[in-house]
Amino acid sequence: MNLNILTDIISNASIASLIATQAIQYLKDNFKINNSVIFAILEFIIGTLFSLSFTNLGIINSLWCGFIVIIGAEALYKIFKGKLGLKSNSQD
């Protein structure tokens, strides 16, 4: 097992999760969209594209990054809410 690739995937997924959750909060607040399936697809796309664009990970590892974003995006949002500029106008 290559632990360096695993840590790269997880660290990239952490950053992409923050971006994805802020995008989802924007959609919830401004467009009143509240569909979990759409949000999961959006998280996967953002995670995969972020990994492909800003890292040297291959397509398979980038897809894993997108999957991890789906799993951990909401948890990371709750941890960092109010910090790093993450906010929501709605009452959570």
75 domain-assigned = yes
| Per-residue confidence (pLDDT) for residue 1, from 0 to 100 | 74
Distances (CA, A) of 89 to 32, 40, 76, 84, 92: 12, 21, 18, 16, 9
Domain residues for the domain of 21 are 17-80
Q: Which residues contact 62 (CB under 8 A, 6 or more apart)?
A: 47, 48, 51, 52, 55
How high is the mean pLDDT in each 10-residue block of the chain (92 residues)? 86 90 89 89 95 94 94 73 60 50
86 domain-assigned = no
| Per-residue confidence (pLDDT) for residue 33, from 0 to 100 | 85
| Per-residue confidence (pLDDT) for residue 58, from 0 to 100 | 93
7 domain-assigned = no
| Per-residue confidence (pLDDT) for residue 2, from 0 to 100 | 81
36 domain-assigned = yes
Domain total in the chain:
1
Are the C-beta atoms of 2 and 8 separated by less than 8 Å? no
CA distance 57 to 50: 10
10 domain-assigned = no
76 domain-assigned = yes
